[in-house]
């Protein structure tokens, strides 16, 4: 079953989500929700989906970064972002227990902010403790794009969207990202937009 994805402006995206008990996690209702969220994420397609994005204020998210999603990126871009395939998994009641201070900046999108993207600074590495769908305690030490996905989804559970963290001048439609910016290093995009010189679209 594919669920409706809430869009920016809907109240559920701005409210802190509630923790789940072990009994709730193992209930048929939550197990069914996980399945529907997985199907919805894959259909979108996306690399992560938090329960508030489908109208449910619970601290639960699903994550999966399939190899097929990497086809539009060059090997150099994949290497720069430290992006590798991530198998499907569930994080419940997650918390970031450590993060580095080196803010990596890349374009980021969101299924709840349809049609747009912006450069967002994120920690390069994070350690996250969480429960899985079997209510088992887990810990992951993530680097690069995986760390970014975790931070993005955990933000959702606190009522935070990437637009709260983005460099505002870099907000762009996905069409314009593809046309003007996607092949440029982030540092060059930031330099152009911060100086007001990002006018490549007016040259031809």
For the chain, domain boundaries: 11-167
Q: How far apart are CA 179 and CA 146, in angstroms?
A: 26
Q: What is the mean pLDDT of residues 179-194?
A: 87
Q: 124 phi and psi, to 5 degrees?
A: -75, -35
Query: What's the rounded Cα separation, in Å, for the pair 194 and 159?
Result: 28
**CA 53 remoteness from chain centre:** 11
* Residue 114 and residue 163 in contact, taking contact as beta carbons nearer than 8 Å: no
State how far the alpha carbon of 159 is from the alpha carbons of 59, 156, 188, in Å.
11, 5, 31
Q: Over the stretch 40-89, which tens digit does the pLDDT of each residue have? A: 999 999 999 999 999 999 999 999 999 888 888 888 888 888 889 999 99
Answer whether 190's CB lies under 8 Å from 105's CB.
yes
Query: What does the alpha-carbon distance between residue 183 and residue 123 come to, in Å, rounded to a whole number?
Result: 22
- Which residues are annotated as catalytic? 153
pLDDT in tens, 155-185: 999 999 999 999 999 999 999 999 999 888 8
Best-predicted range by mean pLDDT among 20-24, 98-102, 178-182? 20-24
Residues 6+ apart with CB under 8 A from 131: 20, 22, 25, 91, 92, 93, 137, 138
Question: Which backbone phi and psi does 91 adopt, to 5 degrees?
Answer: -120, 130
Q: What does the pLDDT read at residue 196?
A: 64
What pTM did the predictor assign?
0.91
Would the pLDDT of 200 be above 50?
Answer: no
Distance CA 161, CA 204 (A): 35
Class of domain 11-167 (CATH, top level)? alpha beta
Is the pLDDT at 203 greater than 70? The verdict is no
In the predicted model, is pLDDT for residue 197 greater than 80? no
């Amino acid at each position: 079953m594919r669920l409706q994805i809430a869009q920016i402006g809907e109240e559920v995206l701005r409210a802190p989500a509630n923790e789940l008990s072990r009994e709730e996690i193992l209930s048929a209702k939550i197990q069914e929700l996980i399945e529907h969220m997985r199907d919805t994420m894959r259909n979108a397609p996306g690399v992560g989906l938090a329960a508030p994005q489908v109208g449910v204020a619970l601290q639960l998210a699903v994550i999966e970064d399939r190899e097929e999603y990497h086809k539009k990126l060059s090997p150099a871009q994949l290497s720069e972002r430290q992006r590798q395939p991530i198998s499907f998994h569930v994080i419940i009641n997650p918390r970031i227990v450590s993060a580095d201070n080196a803010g990596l900046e890349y374009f980021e999108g969101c299924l709840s902010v349809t049609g747009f993207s912006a450069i967002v600074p994120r920690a390069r590495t994070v350690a996250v403790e969480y429960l899985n769908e079997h209510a088992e305690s887990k810990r992951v030490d993530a680097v690069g794009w995986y760390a970014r996905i975790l931070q993005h989804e955990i933000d959702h559970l606190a009522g935070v969207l990437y637009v709260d963290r983005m460099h505002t001048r870099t907000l762009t439609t996905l069409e314009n990202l593809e046309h003007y910016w996607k092949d440029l290093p982030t540092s060059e995009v930031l330099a152009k937009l911060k100086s007001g010189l990002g006018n490549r679209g007016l040259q031809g």
